[in-house]
Amino acid sequence: MMKINKIREMSSPELEKELGELKTELFKLKFSLATHGLDNPMKIKEVKKDIAKINTVLTERKIAENKSAQ
């Protein structure tokens, strides 16, 4: 699980890349769960939380950009 401080230190392009990787991982985990089960089903919850954290930071940055542009 990623820490929010680590996420905030990353640049936006890095976050976009990480977001893509996490979404791919989530897909694989869900597929694996549906086909033959997972050793650790809580991993899905952790990945979803990481995706939400990254989306939150990206949204905060977009809002800050829009405020500074006005």
Q: What's the CA gap between 25 and 42, in Å, rounded?
A: 13
- Would you write out the chain's pLDDT as a tens digit for each of its 70 residues? 889 999 999 999 999 999 999 999 999 999 999 998 888 989 999 999 999 999 999 999 999 999 888 7
**């890095």: which residue's tokens?**
14
What the chain holds in terms of domains, given with CATH numbers, is 12-69 (1.10.287)
0.85 exceeded by pTM: yes
**DSSP H helical segments within 1-70, as ranges?**
4-9, 12-36, 42-69
